[in-house]
């Protein structure tokens, strides 16, 4: 597994379920958020550099493709990584698999780099751009 690909294991609990006994669609957002936190925990120098520069990653778009239902007691694997970096935004990809290899959901999340003092999007450049581009994966690499 690439160091650019974060892997988080989660168990579906009763409070994750909707009235039909499936994981509620909003919970997948939380599962993916857990994946992003783990990803950035694994790259602390990048986050430190952003904080020192008064910058932060901010989500501006999320597109989720729900592929199969997950239910109580299922063990899930959340894969998270960067698939594209542009001048003003980047794309973080997520895939959630059940431990039997079934793809449950996948998503592309677009984020910008926010200048916290000016409260507006900043150009992704210099060492931050280089660091993010060094983490880029293809979506083919997101498999269990």
* Residues labelled as active-site residues: 18
Contact 80, 5 (CB under 8 A): yes
Contact 134, 1 (CB under 8 A): no
Residue 23: closest CA among 91, 65, 69: 69
d(CA 116, CA 71): 40
């Amino acid at each position: 597994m690439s160091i650019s690909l974060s892997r988080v294991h989660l168990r579906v609990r009763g409070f994750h379920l909707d009235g039909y006994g499936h994981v509620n669609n909003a919970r997948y957002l939380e599962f993916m958020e857990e994946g992003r936190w783990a990803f950035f925990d694994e790259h602390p120098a990048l986050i430190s550099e952003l904080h020192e520069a008064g910058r932060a990653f901010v989500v501006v778009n999320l597109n989720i493709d729900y592929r199969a239902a997950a239910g109580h007691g299922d063990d899930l694997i959340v894969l998270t990584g960067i698939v594209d970096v542009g001048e003003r935004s980047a794309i973080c990809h997520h895939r959630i698999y059940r431990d039997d290899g079934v793809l449950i959901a996948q998503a592309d999340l677009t984020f910008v780099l926010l200048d916290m003092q000016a409260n507006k999007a900043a150009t992704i450049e210099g060492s931050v751009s280089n660091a993010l581009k060094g983490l880029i994966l293809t979506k083919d690499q997101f498999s269990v």
